[in-house]
Amino acid sequence: QSVLTQPPSVSAAPGQTATISCFGNRFNIGETYVSWYQQVPGEAPRLLIYDNYRRPSGTPDRFSASKSGTTATLDIAGLQTDDEGDYYCGAWDNSLSAGVFGGGTKLTVL
Amino acid sequence: QITLKESGPTVVAPTQSLTLTCSFSGFSLRTTGVGVAWIRQPPGKALEWLGLIYWTDIKHYSPSLRTRLTLTKDTSKNQVVLRMTNMDPLDTATYFCVHSLGFWSGSFYFDNCGQGTLVTVSS
pLDDT digits (tens, 9 = 90+) for A71-91: 999 999 999 999 999 999 999
**Strands, sheet with A18-23, edge to edge from the N-terminal-most edge strand:** A18-23, A71-76, A63-68
Question: Quick check: A90 and B108 CB within 8 A?
Answer: yes
Q: Which residue in B52, B107, B114 is closest to A44 by CB distance?
A: B114
Nearest to B63 by CA among A65, A15, A45, A27: A27
Q: What is the dihedral of CA A42, A7, B50, B85, to 10 degrees?
A: -80
Distance separating alpha carbons of residues A98 and B13, to the nearest angstrom: 28
Mean pLDDT in residue range B29-49: 96
Residue A10 has pLDDT above 90, yes or no: yes
Confidence of residue B1 (pLDDT cuts 50, 70, 90): very high
Q: What is the pLDDT of residue A78?
A: 97
Residue B52 C-alpha, separation from nearest chain A C-alpha, in angstroms: 8
Q: What is the pLDDT of residue B104?
A: 83
**Do B79 and B23 meet the contact criterion of CB atoms below 8 Å apart?**
yes
Q: Which of B3, B22, B47, B117 would you mutate first to test chain A, the one with the most A CBs within 10 A?
A: B47
User: What are the pLDDT digits (tens) for A19-60?
Assistant: 999 999 999 999 999 999 999 999 999 999 999 999 999 999
**Do A15 and A65 meet the contact criterion of CB atoms below 8 Å apart?**
no
Question: Quick check: A47 and B107 CB within 8 A?
Answer: no
Nearest to A53 by CA among A27, A70, A73: A73
User: What chain A residue is nearest to B103 in terms of C-alpha separation?
Assistant: A92
